[in-house]
Amino acid sequence: MKTPISGFSRLSKEEKIEWIAENYTHNSIETKNILKRYWNREKEVQKLHDEFIENTISNYYLPLGIAPNFLIDGQLMAIPMAIEESSVVAGASKAAKFWLDHGGFSTKVLGTEKIGQVHFIFKGNPKKLELFFNHILPILLEEAKPLTKNMEKRGGGITKIELRDKTAELENYYQLHCTFETLDAMGANFINSCLEQFALTFKTKALVFDQFEEHEKKIEIVMSILSNYVPNCLVRASVSCPVDELKVNSTIESQDFAEKFVRAIQIANVEPHRAVTHNKGIMNGIDAVVLATGNDFRAVEAGVHAYAAKNSSYKSLTHASIIDGIFSFWIEIPLALGTVGGLTNLHPLVKLALEILQRPSAKELMRIVAVAGLAQNFAAVSSLVTTGIQEGHMKMHLMNILNQLHATDKEKETIIDYFKNHPVTHSAVVEIFEKLRS
Ligand code: MEV
């Protein structure tokens, strides 16, 4: 019978491990061994990781891979990707290589606007609220100055504050809808600090606004928080080439491939079940770079999927066309990313990933991440409309199966060699492995 614990966060790391091992695992010695095997040998590095979150007991590794040969706006790049799925880096690399020989990727940042909102309840005359808002606007900006002056020096800051009447959707509900330019920072802390200051100023000054009736002076601030939906923090990445140069493999003619590819995108545009999986494939590439560069992949995921559903049904994030014999394939995607702040100058691997990417600005990182998503989708859809996904996927997954079977290096070599010419299935791998052992 398990019992709750109080004061867990105040236990030492050893005590936390002891507690979890004793209470929630069947072999406490093995549990402790596993957890400690993943500690970093260097005390300083481990301390850094311990302090990222509360209650750290170990580190959770993901492979960090490199997808080379990305030609992006004329610059050759190698993209670091942190991901567990076997075929993702291979897919990205294959797509990068293909487009390296076909003109590379072009990108454009279409906007960098970030959004935050103060949500509040006002029970009174909306006209008077508007009067108050116009009166308070310069004061909101003035009182946020200590927070904004550094960002302003660098060219960013608050770009707009609007009063929005949402009472048609929810009784007495209004917002301060605010937009920001946060330059190379993702900006969550900056935005949230500004919003909390706006809320405080707004609420306090309402108490002494002489045109409000007594009951109108009591504005209820519900919450102040940035929005991860950033449809104007948008980047576009594209590739194109003549259809007759679109020879991805020997199983299909270029024209057939191009037409099938475009059809696959059209299907993802009209069929949400397919669109979700299609976009999941895009996020394989996006998340892997977002994670490797220490950015908030949950924020990106939430914003991207909201964007995919912006026209009331969930659609593909990528688009494709064939016009006058030219195949074009592109993505438009909202990405709120940072290359300063957060983990970017703390986590040694994140710093290294950014160095590999030639220390990008946030805008440059938006371009790179969008390209990774487009490349991933090109790889996935190319396989889907030709050989099917399982051939490549299972080839990449073969090593996982061999590791599950505890195959030796020699056995791996023999079996990998065998499957160069045979379809990989889990049972076929087990069968040949057992044959080899016997
Ligand atoms: C698997 O992780 C991703 C795919 O399902 C994407 C797609 O279907 O487009 C292959």
Is 277 near ligand 1, meaning CB less than 6 Å away? yes
CB 198 within 8 A of CB 140: yes
| Catalytically active residues, by annotation | 85, 280, 296, 393
What's the pLDDT score for residue 232?
A: 98
Spatial CB neighbours of 292, under 8 Å, sequence gap ≥ 6: 64, 80, 81, 82, 349, 350, 353
Model confidence pLDDT, tens digit, residues 343-376? 888 999 999 999 999 999 999 999 999 999 999 9
Q: What is the average per-residue pLDDT within 250-274?
A: 96
What's the pLDDT score for residue 395?
A: 80
* Whether pLDDT at 337 is above 80: yes
Q: What percentage of the chain exceeds 90 in pLDDT? A: 92
Average pLDDT of the chain? 96
What's the pLDDT score for residue 342?
A: 87
SS3 54: coil
Handedness of CA 72, 361, 344, 115 (dihedral sign): negative
What's the pLDDT score for residue 33?
A: 97
CA of 282 to the centre of ligand 1 (A): 8
Spatial CB neighbours of 243, under 8 Å, sequence gap ≥ 6: 254, 255, 258, 322, 325, 326, 327
d(CA 239, CA 105): 5
**Ordered DSSP codes for 164-187:** EE-TTTSTTEEEEEEEEE-TTB--
Q: What percentage of the chain exceeds 70 in pLDDT? A: 100
Amino acid at 228: N
The encoded tokens of residue 329 equal: 């394939």
Spatial CB neighbours of 251, under 8 Å, sequence gap ≥ 6: 386, 387
Is 267 near ligand 1, meaning CB less than 6 Å away? no
Which of 282, 284, 385 for mutating ligand 1's site (highest number of atoms within 8 Å of CB)? 284
- Name which residue sits closest to atom 10 of ligand 1, judged by CA: 380
CA of 264 to the centre of ligand 1 (A): 12
CB 365 within 8 A of CB 286: no
- What band does 251 get if pLDDT is binned at 50, 70 and 90? confident
| pTM for this model (two decimals) | 0.93
b/e string for 184-211 if b means 16 or more Cβ within 10 A?
bbbbbebbebbbbbbbbbbbebbeebee
Nearest atom of ligand 1 to the alpha carbon of 377? 9
Q: What is the average per-residue pLDDT within 274-295?
A: 98
Calculate the CA 241 to chain-centre distance.
Answer: 28
